[in-house]
Amino acid sequence: MEIKIARSELQKGLGLVQGIVERKTTMPILANVLLSVEKKALSITATDLEVGINGSYAADVLSEGKITLHARSLYDIVRELPDDTIYLKVKDGNWVEIKCGKSNFKIVGLSPEEFPALPTRGNGQTQRIDATLLKEMIDRTAFAMSSDETRYNLNGIYADLSGGEDGKTIVMVATDGHRLSVMKREAGSGWSLPKGIIVPRKGVMELKKLAESGDDPVDIWADTKHLIVYRGNTTLVIRLIDGQFPPYEQVIPKKAKRVVSLGRNEFIHALKRVSVLSTDRSRGVKFSISPNNLDITASNPDIGEAREELAATYKGDAFEIGFNARYFIDALSSIDDEQAVMQLGDDTAPCVIYSEFDRGFTHVIMPMRL
Amino acid sequence: MLRSWPRAIAHVDADAFFASVEQAVHPELKGRPVITGAERGIVSAASYEAKARGVARGVPLHHVKKLCPDCVILPSDYETYSLYSKRMFEIMRRFSPIVEEYSIDEGFCELTGLRRLFHCDYRGIAARMQEAILTELDITASVGISLSKSLAKLCSKFRKPHGITAVGGRHIHLLLARTPLEKVWGFGSNTVALLAKHGLKNALDFVDRPESFASNLMGKIGRELWGELRGEYVYKVSAEDADRQLSISKTKTFTPPSADRNYVWARALRNLESACIKARRHGLAARRLVLHLRTQQFEGAGLEAKLVRASSSTNELVPVLAEMFEKIFKPGTLYRATGVVLAELADERPAQFTLFEDVGHALASERAFEAVDEIAERFGKHTIFLADGAVLSEQHAGERGLTAERKSRPLKGETKRQHLKLPLLRFNLRH
């Protein structure tokens, strides 16, 4: 293998895979990237066996071939090289020579035969989706994913890509068992991909990165084991979580006993201020709701207490309920509404937040006992 | 050069605590070899007279009878021991408010700056403390005083029983040179083996190496112990008492051993109930549950489970315990002990409700156990217990029919459940 490639092009390709290569792996090959040259292009592949990514980049091909090199070291070298053409040649014993301007490197790689192959697409059509829409759906759900490794089935976003009855609506859901975020959106038509897949956290992050990297649409394909995403010359392969997602629809209350609405921005800032005095672990704050008024209070035996009064639209009896302030801040920050509308039951029932502008957004937060 | 007393930490360690307490409540046993643990079938504690005859902790009782036929073997009376323990810590608190109850029979006490108050040096303060324990409780304790908890602990072991060892900054090296590695608090057999490979023989060799040696080899713990042994006050004496427990462990040995699934399960369940009672009393809830079973051959098997939500309601934990029990119980094996640990304890409140469970059910079971605790308060612990525990025979009567004397001979008006929380001296007045 022997190529000449623009430094910027190689840096872009290597930069894209850095988030995926495993730093602390028991398989040394996974810390490497696979560089393979066919026809007119250099293809760069990295995987941690859960998420794999492949991109192809224009290069001046002198001879075809393959090699794997330590991803981090190669990236660090390329980043510091002068902005010029890089000459890269594989020599005997997996040694690679890199030349650029007056710099000259010789680094050793591992045999490309050892590099695990990425899963490939099976039968069925890909489905096109708008990148901005995809990013929005991830942004309004991903924050609710669980990071508790013992609850592996919640460590990702659940997606229903079947299109529903009309083949138009797709759903994404995330929960950590304390809160639940649901996004339903119309996304073109003719959806017929699997119904209940769970995309792991790392896959979600890479998918979001890919969706953010430009405006052109994304093509996706999935079966019960993998989700494959195409955008331009880049392919992202995600191994799905093999688990049952809890029956999320059942926990969304159908009827609201109490409805409270208030300015979203003021609400977020008040929560941020008051929660400074909630205890570190629980972030518990108390809402005291009375007609046209919402008081937020928090107290911490080590520091002191805080109280903030907010004007709110509410008709009904006065009552109190405890919540983790963090959960409200997360949910309310993800939407763009002027007003925050909360639907509440009694003090052990979940609170539901809808968005007026994004009708597909539903968020459920369980209360706390303070 | 380290000043002699930039800080003074005392470690008070009661000598042969359980046996000494028995000798204190039964004065006629003074000077005789005394052993506690009759209900367990092995030695829990041995008095110095028994130790002199070669009896050590953990030795089976039939072996003891051969070693020392005139030995007095008593069932354990934990209630009296814990009363004595409380009083010992109370005595320590008279000297300094910063007292850490490290276990039932040992504790740390921060003495820095108390010399002026007591008009004597730290050794003198230790002597007074020891004197108070001896005159008021009639038990002996050994005291070690030094600059850090680790050093104080080494000191108290240095002269026993009824010894005082005070090692100031200038003399630490003399103590460390005489301390083999395995005696250092925090060095297990693996650490000792590792250090021995680097040519270390005693604690002085360890602190003579640079700090980086300790941290490279043993990480944060290594760096901390290295500092502690050099007289740095790394581990603080924490005066917070048992209220801030990190875990609650309940283990009971039963004799004779049993291979009966229902019986062993009932034992495990009873431990769970006891641990939950204690957790609720302290307003704590556990995130992690551990079960271990020990066989007749002293082999152990254990499992632990992480809970979705912290809990101290017994019936919420039972299904988890049952699942673990099914996994580790081997039919046909004789078991001699079960243990349950509630770990990752946190305050019950604030408690986050979870989405995918029935909140009403969780609240109802919490209320049920509030009622159970209330009944226990009035009629005694385990008055109400889970039905699987019914196979256990009468509570507290050991399988050997041995109960502590304090329980078998109640005073007038006392019941088994309700009695004065006072240790009673047992001796006959002769006219």
Please report whether residue B430 resides in a domain: no
What is the pLDDT confidence band of residue B347, given thresholds at 50, 70 and 90? confident
Q: What are the angstrom distances between the C-alpha of B172 and each of A311, B178, B207?
A: 66, 10, 11
Number of domains comprising chain A: 3
Please tell me if residue B355 touches chain A, with a CB cutoff of 8 Å.
yes
What is the pLDDT confidence band of residue B299, given thresholds at 50, 70 and 90? confident
Q: Both B154 and B258 in a single domain?
A: no
Q: If you average pLDDT over every residue of chain A, what do you get?
A: 92
Q: Both A204 and A264 in a single domain?
A: no
Per-residue confidence (pLDDT) for residue B245, from 0 to 100: 57
Of A322, A348, A364, the CB nearest to B359: A348
Number of domains comprising chain B: 3
Per-residue confidence (pLDDT) for residue B351, from 0 to 100: 86
Cα angle: A364, vertex A198, A151; to 5 degrees: 70
Task: List B residues 302-341 in contact with A (Cβ-Cβ < 8 A).
Answer: 306, 308
Q: Does residue B243 register a pLDDT over 70?
A: no
Phi, psi of A313 (to 5 degrees): -95, 115
Please report whether residue A370 resides in a domain: no
Strands (E), B209-283: 248-258
Name chain A contacts of B359, Cβ cutoff 8 Å: 348-349
What's the gap between Cα A13 and its chain centre?
Answer: 20
Give the tens place of pLDDT for each residue, A258-292: 999 999 999 999 999 998 888 767 788 999 999 99
Per-residue confidence (pLDDT) for residue A115, from 0 to 100: 94
Measure in Å the smallest separation between the Cα of A66 and chain B Cα atoms: 40
Name chain B contacts of A328, Cβ cutoff 8 Å: none
Measure in Å the smallest separation between the Cα of A313 and chain B Cα atoms: 26
> Which of B320, B352, B370 is the best substitution to test chain A (most A C-beta atoms within 10 A)?
B352
In chain B, whose CA is at the least distance from the CA of A178?
Answer: B354
Q: Both B113 and B213 in a single domain?
A: yes
Name chain A contacts of B352, Cβ cutoff 8 Å: 178, 282, 324, 366, 368
Name chain B contacts of A279, Cβ cutoff 8 Å: 350
Q: Determine, for residues A177 and B356 on separate chains, whether the beta-carbon distance falls below 8 Å.
A: yes
Residue A82 preceded by cis peptide, ω within 30: no
* CB A194, CB A161: distance < 8 Å: yes
Catalytic residues of B: 106
The boundaries of the domain holding residue A151 are 127-249
Q: Both A93 and A27 in a single domain?
A: yes
Give the tens place of pLDDT for each residue, A28-48: 899 999 999 988 899 999 999
Per-residue confidence (pLDDT) for residue B426, from 0 to 100: 63
Distance in Å from the first CA to the final CA of chain A? 65
Q: Both A222 and A242 in a single domain?
A: yes
Give the tens place of pLDDT for each residue, A180-203: 999 999 988 888 888 889 999 999
Measure in Å the smallest separation between the Cα of A350 and chain B Cα atoms: 8
Lowest mean pLDDT among A189-203, B286-300, B401-415: B401-415
Please tell me if residue A179 touches chain B, with a CB cutoff of 8 Å.
yes
Q: What value does the mean pLDDT take over residues B89-101?
A: 90
Share of chain B above pLDDT 90, in %: 42
> Which of A153, A158, A366, A370 is the best substitution to test chain B (most B C-beta atoms within 10 A)?
A366
Bridging pattern class, strands B335-347 and B284-295: antiparallel
Q: What value does the mean pLDDT take over residues A75-90?
A: 91
Q: Both B374 and B273 in a single domain?
A: yes
Please tell me if residue B364 touches chain A, with a CB cutoff of 8 Å.
no
Please report whether residue B236 resides in a domain: no
Name chain B contacts of A370, Cβ cutoff 8 Å: 349-350
The boundaries of the domain holding residue B120 are 81-128+145-229
In chain A, whose CA is at the least distance from the CA of B349?
Answer: A370
Task: List A residues 247-266 in contact with B (Cβ-Cβ < 8 A).
Answer: 247, 251
Per-residue confidence (pLDDT) for residue B2, from 0 to 100: 67
Which class for B50: exposed (0-12), middle (13-18), buried (19 or more C-beta within 10 A)? Answer: buried
Q: Which of A104, A67, A108 is nearest to A87 (CA)?
A: A104
Q: What is the CATH number of the domain that holds A330?
A: 3.10.150.10
Q: Both A137 and A245 in a single domain?
A: yes
Q: Determine, for residues B350 and A369 on separate chains, whether the beta-carbon distance falls below 8 Å.
A: yes
List beta partners, residue A221.
Answer: A228
Q: What value does the mean pLDDT take over residues A81-95?
A: 91
Q: What is the pTM of this model?
A: 0.69
> Which of B306, B311, B353, B370 is the best substitution to test chain A (most A C-beta atoms within 10 A)?
B353
Q: What is the DSSP string of A153-177?
A: GGSEEEEE-S-TTTT-EEEEEEE-S
Please report whether residue B65 resides in a domain: yes
Q: Is A282 helix (H, G, I), strand (E, B) or coil?
A: coil
Q: Both B106 and B36 in a single domain?
A: no
Domain boundary pick from A192, A215, A249? A249
Please tell me if residue B363 touches chain A, with a CB cutoff of 8 Å.
yes
Q: Both A236 and A256 in a single domain?
A: no
What is the pLDDT confidence band of residue B309, given thresholds at 50, 70 and 90? confident
Q: Both A135 and A237 in a single domain?
A: yes
| Residue A269, H or E segment | helix A264-274
* CB B338, CB B329: distance < 8 Å: no
Q: Determine, for residues B353 and A369 on separate chains, whether the beta-carbon distance falls below 8 Å.
A: yes
Please report whether residue A120 resides in a domain: no
ipTM: 0.82
Domain boundary pick from B196, B229, B262? B229
Domain boundary pick from A249, A273, A305? A249
Name chain B contacts of A282, Cβ cutoff 8 Å: 350, 352
Domain boundary pick from A249, A264, A284? A249
Q: Both A30 and A102 in a single domain?
A: yes
Q: Both A303 and A359 in a single domain?
A: yes
Please report whether residue A145 resides in a domain: yes
